[in-house]
Structure 1
Amino acid sequence: MKIVGNIVYIIGVSGCGKSTVGSMLADKLQLPFFDADDFHPKENVKKMASGVPLTDADRIGWLEKLNALAIDHKENGAIIGCSALKKTYRNLLEQNIEDITKWVFLDGSFDEIWLRMKKRKDHFMPSTLLESQFKTLEPPVNALNISISQTPEEMVAKILLELKA
């Protein structure tokens, strides 16, 4: 199955599985996958690694870069894993491509995700910042909600079913 010309954002707080689910979905759809973490400026990574939450001002340039990436891939499509915690962030991410943007929200409880993050190795985002992410989170109303209590394979299968519909 290939969905040409759609930008699918896999969104949610850190540790919810955006990279895992996004890369698996991209493989199934034969689309490129981009992890938004790879596009953060060094200053943002350093700030988060030291346990300091990003501000809206810290995120603007990063979100604009991701929107440009999405626009560059609008002809053939792409999967982008990005926290996109607030509605204003999502508005910026879909600017000029609203009609081809799809949102998939990986939904889980604080406790579920905190346990996952404690097991992660070699990631700049410390589990101590999870609370700030949940405080910032404005759950999307126009997204496919996927429970993270499922396996990644089950999550991808459900996303594929919904995207076909």
Structure 2
Amino acid sequence: METKTPSPRTLILVPLDFEDASKKALDMALELAAPLNADIVALHITRPAVARPGELPASLLERLRDEAHAAAERELEQLVTRIANLKTLLRTGDPEDVILSAIDDLKPSLVIMGTHGRRGLRRLLLGSVAEHVLVRSQVPVITVRANYPA
């Protein structure tokens, strides 16, 4: 008699900045999770607090960083209480690098992330985290705009 080992659960990674586009990405992940028997990992990234010398005291920068981190923890905890199959990660760093590192570490089957849909000069100046991840990811990436119908 042959016994099968259960296949590992599918994992969906959702970078989450709590703006409309990333909330829509989380909604899409929730829609896909049940039929795929998937777990979802919501990844929130805080940027390191930096300032040029003399702009802000180091103690203020540290306090601002700590407050941003605490606020993100509260937001993520609220999501976990509402969504059963959700796990969360909170990291600090450059969003593109942290997301790609999480992909390498977690080995998700899919990444679903929001995009602001910037064009022209704004995109050139601000860049696109989603585009950066889309080009460099070794797993499929779905991007969702804020105006995606719920």
> Rg larger in 1 or in 2?
2
Same fold (TM > 0.5)? no
Higher normalized helix content (fraction of residues): 1
TM-score using structure 2 length: 0.40
TM-score using structure 1 length: 0.37
